[in-house]
Amino acid sequence: MNSRRNFLQKITASAFGIPVLTAMNERPSGILNEVPYEGPMLKVAILGLGSYGNRVAEAMQSCSMAKVTGVISGTPSKIKDWQAKYNIPDKNCYNYENFDNIKNNPDIDAVYIITPNALHKDQAIRVAKAGKHVICEKPMSINAKDGQEMIDACKKANVKLLVGYRMHFEAKTLEILRMRNAGDFGKVLFFQGLCGFRIGDPNQWRLNKALSGGGAMMDIGIYAVNGSRYMIGEDPIWVTAQETKTDPVKFKEGIDETIQFQFGFPGGAVASCLSTYQMSNLDRFFLNGEKGFAEMQPSTGYGPIKARTNKGELTNPHITHQTTQMDEMAAIILQGKKAPVPVDGEEGLKDLKIIDAIFLAVKTGKKVELKL
């Protein structure tokens, strides 16, 4: 309950223009009195009622500023279950053929796309054309070209495009970024990101290039790509990468099993990362500077995140990531709030450009220069 209160205060504080990076690290009772939020809710339809869609909807039950009001699915039985669980009327239920009709539905402000990666682009463009805000899971799409098309479509339709980077709102992550900005670690020199798990069922969409756009890199390696950028606080200017494949039957052409990659940053820092579908318990970030360090393990899982720095263990309370994310995204859409670390289409596009470059570096064996 206490952490929930802290969060409400953070939201209230940020609604009044107090930057989250500051508010999160002040004493919760020191900013404003606890005022329950009574403004408009962001009305969200979930598109894709799979494993992560279920997790998001569960978490949204604790949101103060966002709620699930509609569903888009190809499976009528799932729609029925969700209707019962989340009290969704028939008029807010759609399938993949007719969901353009959300255009005329005032009960839906935004659609959260939680389908296989390769479907994101077309679905996002359809949502934008229907005049609704787009929230899209990571990776935003399967390459930079598609990502750019999504951005263009959302701009044209004058709707927001946000990417489900839940770690950009996570308290311990933000505390580390605050310490880095305050100079606690000195000049940042090095980041290491290790992201992976052993993938099961060989027949799942994640191992089908047409649906996934790639293997571990698109799915889990992207956390190290994105994490390198927010932990160091700069965008990389070059990348090198090497692929290893121990099981070419399970990991077919175009599905990367393990990729090691390295970045160089304009300030002189370097990063060394690992993305894999073949090793368990790989969820670790390490940031090193001239004066100190930060270590996170787990670093991007559903939490609680565990983090320590040269000054000691971080104790920021755990709040379900997707609850925080969706309340913060509601504040971005409804109040024009600024995210502590960007979650917009441009941010998603940068990661796609880097992933395109990683694949190119693997293919050519050469260092690839980046201009983000």
Q: Which of 64, 58, 112 is nearest to 85 (CA)?
A: 58
Active site residue 138: yes
Footprint of ligand NAD on residues 124-183 (CB under 6 A)?
Answer: 137-138, 164, 166
Which of 2, 51, 104, 158 binds ligand NAD (CB under 6 A)? It is 51
Catalytic residue among 10, 43, 138, 353: 138
User: Rounded to the nearest whole angstrom, what is the least distance from the CB of residue 359 to ligand NAD in the complex?
Assistant: 17
Which of 64, 92, 115, 173 binds ligand NAD (CB under 6 A)? It is 115
Write the single-letter amino acid at 359.
Answer: F
Q: Which is nearer to ligand NAD, 192 or 320 (CB)?
A: 320
Q: Which is nearer to ligand NAD, 163 or 271 (CB)?
A: 163
Q: Which of 174, 212, 173, 209 is nearest to 193 (CA)?
A: 173
Which part of the chain contacts ligand NAD (CB under 6 A), choosing from 50-58, 185-193, 288-296, 328-336? 50-58
Q: Which is nearer to ligand NAD, 28 or 48 (CB)?
A: 48
The C-alpha atoms of residue 282 and residue 298 are separated, in whole angstroms, by 8
Active site residue 245: no
Peptide bond just before 19 cis, omega within 30 deg: no
Q: Which residues contact 237 (CB under 8 A, 6 or more apart)?
A: 264, 265, 266, 369, 370, 371
The C-alpha atoms of residue 336 and residue 191 are separated, in whole angstroms, by 32
The C-alpha atoms of residue 31 and residue 25 are separated, in whole angstroms, by 11
Residue 58 interacts with ligand NAD (CB under 6 A)?
Answer: no
Tokens of 333: 């859409």
Number of shown-chain residues binding ligand NAD (CB under 6 A): 19
Which of 18, 21, 189, 211 binds ligand NAD (CB under 6 A)? It is 211
Residue ranges in contact with ligand NAD by CB under 6 A: 48-53, 74, 114-117, 119, 137-138, 164, 166, 205, 211, 219
